Amino acid sequence: AQKVTQAQTEISVVEKEDVTLDCVYETRDTTYYLFWYKQPPSGELVFLIRRNSFDEQNEISGRYSWNFQKSTSSFNFTITASQVVDSAVYFCALGSGNTGKLIFGQGTTLQVKP
Smallest distance from the beta carbon of 114 to other proteins, in angstroms?
Answer: 25
Q: Choose which of 19, 23, 88, 93 interacts with other proteins (CB under 8 A).
A: 93
11 to 50: interface string for other proteins, x by CB under 8 A: --------------------xxx-x-x----xxxxxx--x
Interaction of residue 114 with other proteins, rule CB under 8 A: no
d(CA 19, CA 98): 33
- Taking alpha carbons only, the member of 51, 81, 89, 85 closest to residue 63 is 81
d(CA 78, CA 11): 13
Which residues of the shown chain bind other proteins in the complex (CB under 8 A)? 4, 31-33, 35, 37, 42-47, 50, 52, 91, 93, 95-102, 104-107
